[in-house]
Amino acid sequence: MIRRLLYAIPTLLGISVIVFMLTRLSPGDPVRLFTFGSVTITEDDIRQLRAFYGLDQPLPVQYVNWMLGVLRGDFGMSLQYHKPALGLLLERLPATLQLALAALLLQLLIGVPLGVYAALKRGSWVDNAIRLFGVVGHAVPTFWIGLLAIILFAVTLRVLPSQGLLTVGKDQSDIIDRLRHIILPAFVLALAGIANYSRYLRTETLDVIAQDFVRTAHAKGLRNRTVVFTHALRNALIPMVTALGGLLAVLVSGSLIVEQIFTWPGAGQFTYAAARVKDYPVIMAGVMLGSTLLVVSYLIRDVLYAVVDPRIKAR
């Protein structure tokens, strides 16, 4: 497990190189950009400014300097707020995690039973309906479903709020109000995952229930429920843990879009807002934060994998 943890380091280093190189590859010299239109500035001033910000040094040196800052949590100041970029993002991270975890919970609680149920009722109309949902839910654009959900539930039916964490002016600890606010964004964010999990679980369950040990369990006279839950499901879940990786990536990416649509004050929405005004330190910090989140989720997935499948530990 520690080795796995060490593997995460070159990955994070690679990400930092990609992020850094991208911003340096972009056209335009930042010093000239910020001093553009200034009449009094001389070539000498520009040279001095470049030296001040370290822009005259070779790229690898610039990268190492930037990276040393990043390791101390220093991504530079937000150009818009004049506060540390990372701090601004971290303030908004809890909201993002709240939304992502709620969505993940919904995905597992709805997607897994749907898939298993479809496999058990193979060929019935329920199975067909779940399979149809598996394709449709995957193909529908998240942001569009979000817009439609707002129009239907928040504007037309007026049953659920569509914006923010909680009603303005209400008590922070009003759980009911918070829950009401999270329902729409969490469901919209969860939709693609629910569809995917139901597909995976159906395939895997079908695979497992065709195997000998399931027949043996039935032959022993075990109840159907016991066979499904303790014998089949546990084995069907193993390959799904692998699939979890890609789905977590979709979740982190999707959270940015969903946060934007539902004006959910999270780190994703903040990064997007920074992108609109080209606030580079915040965007870079946002990309690094999102990636770190993903790398950590991959680690958790691998731990889970060892828990579900003890054979992995031996390796």
Partner 1 sequence: MPAIVPLRRASAGLWSNAWYRLRRDRLTVAASAVLLALMMLSIAAPLLSAYVFGMSFEEQSLLKAYAAPTLDPPGYLLGSDEVGRSQVVRLFYGGQVSLFVGFVGMFMNFTIGVGLGLVAGFFRGFIDDAITWFITTLNSIPLIFLLILITTLFTPGAVTLTIIIGVLFWTGITNFVRGQTFALREREFVTAARTVGASNARIMFRHILPNVLPLIFVLAAIDVGTIILAESALSYLGLGIMPPTPSWGNMLTNASSYFNRAWWLVVSPGVMVFLTVLCLYLIGDGLRDALDPRLKGAD
Summarize as ranges the residues that interact with partner 1 (CB under 8 A).
Answer: 10-12, 14-15, 18-19, 22-23, 25-27, 122, 128, 131, 135-136, 138-144, 147-148, 151, 155, 199, 202-203, 206-207, 245, 249, 252-254, 256-257, 260, 268, 271-272, 275-276, 278, 280, 283-284, 286-287, 290-291, 293-295, 298
The residue (of 84 and 286) whose beta carbon lies closer to partner 1 is 286
Burial class (CB in 10 A: 0-12, 13-18, 19+), 310: exposed
Tokens found for residue 57: 């040094």
Rounded Cα distance, 315 and 80, in Å: 50
To partner 1, the closest distance from the beta carbon of 188 in angstroms equals 13
In whole angstroms, the minimum distance from the beta carbon of 279 to partner 1 comes to: 9
Residue 262 C-beta: closest distance to partner 1, Å: 12
28 beta partners: none
Burial label for 5, CB within 10 Å (0-12, 13-18, 19+), is exposed
Nearer to partner 1, 84 or 290 (CB): 290
Residue with Cβ nearer partner 1 (8 or 222): 8
| Sign for the pseudo-dihedral over CA of 194, 199, 204, 209 | positive
Q: Which is nearer to partner 1, 138 or 178 (CB)?
A: 138
Question: How big is the chain, counted in residues?
Answer: 315
CA dihedral 117, 123, 127, 132 (to 10 degrees): 150
Q: Least separation, in Å, of the C-beta of 42 and partner 1?
A: 28
- Least distance to partner 1 from the beta carbon of 85, Å? 13
Would you say 141 and 188 are in contact if contact means Cβ atoms under 8 Å apart? no
C-beta closer to partner 1: residue 222 or 275: 275
